[in-house]
Structure 1
Amino acid sequence: MLPLINSSYFQNLVEGFTNGVLIVNTNGEVYVANTAAAHTLGCTVDQCNGKSWRELLNGIVYSLQFEGFMRDATSTDRCNLPFFTPYIRPDGQTRYLNLSTSPLVEWNKLFGIMILITDVTPLHHMHEREKAILTENNKLQHERYESLQNISQAIAHQIRNPMMTIGGFAGLLLRRSGNGSKGCDSEFLEGILDASRRLEEIVNAVSQFTSLSIRDPKPLEIGGILDEARETIAARVAENGSRISWDVRLEPVSMVLDHALLVTALQEIMENSLEAFENGSGRMNVRGSKTQENYLLVLADNGIGIEAGHLPYVTDPFFTTKAVGVGMGLTNVERIVREHKGGLFISSRQGVGTTVSIELPLDFTSLG
């Protein structure tokens, strides 16, 4: 029994709580229960009092974890983190509860535990409905992607054949023009040939974009993928005589990823940074940290940055400010990240640099 304060005092005190409250003595017996706790657990206050907490809460689904939760509560003088569990009431109804504990201490001696019970069933059902809606939206978005992919592939195929014919004949006429054939204007033919090459680049870019689907997801170390992307960039840096100073700090993690796709995305980000470095040399900071549900990978450079007016459009298809290129690089990165059910965030300041943040889910089922 609780030695210093009588039960009627506690009973009057806990009845003022809107959440359920149980007070358990050091023997594990329920000493006081309020009406809210009894209602949530599907019994009366009298049925609660005098029972052991194991007997009273035997409807908890995660019983083994709850044993550890209560063991920690009775062996320490600190508050536990909240414990979430489904609970099956005596009438068969399932409720979803958040449980937390607080020690009752007097003269530095633990004489009881207060268990706070919060019924989060309506909130849980709302979250489940939201998840169902998001799942359906993702399914519809994936179907739209597939439709767009099929259309894009068909258009690219139909354009490629006449484009190759135009380019081939233009090249042939240009060669004849160089041999002194009459009636051929080499300047115009070069324009036709350049345009056909440009069109071929666009068709190839569209074909690549439509092929960016997850094909081989498996658990991989994020550090290994980053190293592989860096090796490819190192080869380019060596060819150009450039230099990148790396500062990499990653929290180790194994995640379900498509190896080829993520390497492609990281290479594209690194290539953009390399092109943004003044005189071809600069610094690249890479950070990786894990949260409860996601892994955040941040790549920051000290390049020339992106104009504020251009920043909202950098992931749009065919948007580019470069003289060379189609403008699909960051579009592909965004597609790859979305294929992994992740998020892409880009910030930049001119003269300071650009930061690209990739948030990826840790949950294997997210790729299903």
Structure 2
Amino acid sequence: MLLDELFLKTIFMHMPVGLAVMGEDGGIVTVNEAFERIFLMDAGQVAGKGWGELFLTDEKNPEFNQVILDTIARRANGIKREVPYFRDSGETLTLMLVSSYLERQGERAGMLVLIDDVTEIRKLADREKRLLAERAFLVREREEGVQKLAMCLAHQIRNPVLTIGGYANLLLRNADLAPSLRPRAEGILDGSMRLEELVKAVASFAALPSPSPLNVELESLLGSMISSVERYAAEQGKRLYVNNGSFPQCLLHVDPVLVQEALLFVGMNCVDFAKDDDVRVRVRYQFHEKKKQHVILFSDQGTGIASSDLPYIYDPFFTTKAQGVGMGLTSARRILREHGGELHVRSREGAGTFVAMHFPA
């Protein structure tokens, strides 16, 4: 028994968090070494003294004292709060308090208070929060700059491109055009049309608005997307087979127009990169409990993406399609990030592609 008591006392004294035990009269029975370090008091200074005598008369720390007062008033167990504590020297600590009211046969038996000095942890967390906020600001500032530049370029390029295309078209309508010049005029017209597609894609990307979130039914959102992709597949002379089962009833707080656009980019890619005219896609939903995220998952059996191409799939104008401008995934990822989410793509050439769209809950 003596060995057990010695063992428990050793644990008590050397715990990394402060611990104070008060008796039924409110006097402090014992404290450990961590308590002494936090409050710059030794056991001899506090033994037998009341908590009120040591702390409650200190007007600098009302939040700290309120935890103890609430524990007594409510006769509560496990009241837990993070509070500031101001030392006489002016130094400020951040303390995590856990206090419990102890009873024996309905009568007050004392109180137990755990005190964890989380000052450094809080400083690191605040610093990380500041850095993340600064980084987010710089990213937004850069994206806004790119948007403005893209809008200006799109506007400045569109008019000359339309003029070039118009003159090429007029040349081709001219019956007196020399046969040797016709292929060149056709090349100019094709090039101008391609440039016009690029300009439209840039303008569309630059004009993406900030999200206006609403509560949207998951099933409605995905059902609408699947219908649109089915029509797109039919226009390409393909058939879409979607294995999705049933979606749970849940609400996503998103901008329905923008998110529908992002979903369509992904769904249409499944059609474009199918190995044949039968497009097989699996669409699923998961809730990530730990990260508190809604996740929409796409997987197909298409041609996949070469490992050498994967690092560039989000880059503007990068595409391996015969027809396309390479802005789909760029826009989709931007839409998800504007919602506080993220887009992840995994793929293996010849074995299909897996896309995960994450949205905060």
Q: What is the DSSP-based 3-state SS (H/G/I as helix, E as strand, rest coil) of the residue aligned with 1:347?
A: strand
Q: Which moved more, 1:42-51 or 1:309-318?
A: 42-51
Q: Deviations over 1:220-246 (max 9, x none)?
A: 455543333233223334554332222
Q: In structure 1, what is the equivalent of residue 257 of structure 2?
A: 260
Q: How does 1:161-200 map to 2 (within 5 A)?
A: 161-176=159-174, 180-183=175-178, 185-200=181-196
Q: 1:263 to 1:212 in 2, by over 3 A?
A: same
Hey, what's the Cα distance between the residues in 2 that align with 1:48 and 1:142? Answer: 57
Q: How does 1:1-368 map to 2 (within 5 A)?
A: 13-23=11-21, 31-40=29-38, 45=43, 47=46, 59-60=63-64, 71=76, 85-88=82-85, 95-98=93-96, 116-176=114-174, 180-183=175-178, 185-237=181-233, 240-247=238-245, 249=247, 252-255=250-253, 257-278=254-275, 279-291=277-289, 294-304=292-302, 305-362=304-361
> Which TM-score applies when normalising by structure 1?
0.75
Q: Which moved more, 1:258-267 or 1:202-211?
A: 258-267
Q: Percent identity?
A: 31
What is the CA-CA distance between 1:150 and the residue it aligns to? 1.3
Hey, what's the Cα distance between the residues in 2 that align with 1:311 and 1:202? Answer: 22
Q: What is the DSSP-based 3-state SS (H/G/I as helix, E as strand, rest coil) of the residue aligned with 2:63?
A: coil
Q: Deviations over 1:87-116 (max 9, x none)?
A: 4457586533345699x9xxxxxx999764
Contact 1:42/1:89, CA 8 A, preserved across alignment: no
Q: What is the DSSP-based 3-state SS (H/G/I as helix, E as strand, rest coil) of the residue aligned with 2:115?
A: strand
Q: Supply the AA of the counterpart residue of 1:350.
A: E
Q: 1:207 to 1:58 in 2, by over 3 A?
A: same
CA RMSD of the aligned region, Å? 4.1
Hey, what's the Cα distance between the residues in 2 that align with 1:285 and 1:70? Answer: 52
What is the CA-CA distance between 1:322 and the residue it aligns to? 1.0
Hey, what's the Cα distance between the residues in 2 that align with 1:351 and 1:315? Answer: 20
Contact 1:248/1:285, CA 8 A, preserved across alignment: no
Q: Supply the AA of the counterpart residue of 1:198.
A: R
What is the CA-CA distance between 1:173 and the residue it aligns to? 1.4
Q: In structure 1, what is the equivalent of residue 106 of structure 2?
A: none
Aligned length: 339
Contact 2:151/2:207, CA 8 A, preserved across alignment: no
Q: What is the DSSP-based 3-state SS (H/G/I as helix, E as strand, rest coil) of the residue aligned with 2:268?
A: helix
- Any runs of at least 4 consecutive aligned residues in structure 1 with deviations exceeding 6 A, and if so which? 4-9, 24-30, 55-58, 111-114
Hey, what's the Cα distance between the residues in 2 that align with 1:291 and 1:142? Answer: 28
User: What are the ranges of 5 or more consecutive residues in structure 1 without an aligned counterpart?
Assistant: 75-82, 105-110, 363-368
Hey, what's the Cα distance between the residues in 2 that align with 1:251 and 1:122? Answer: 43
Q: 1:100 to 1:355 in 2, by over 3 A?
A: farther
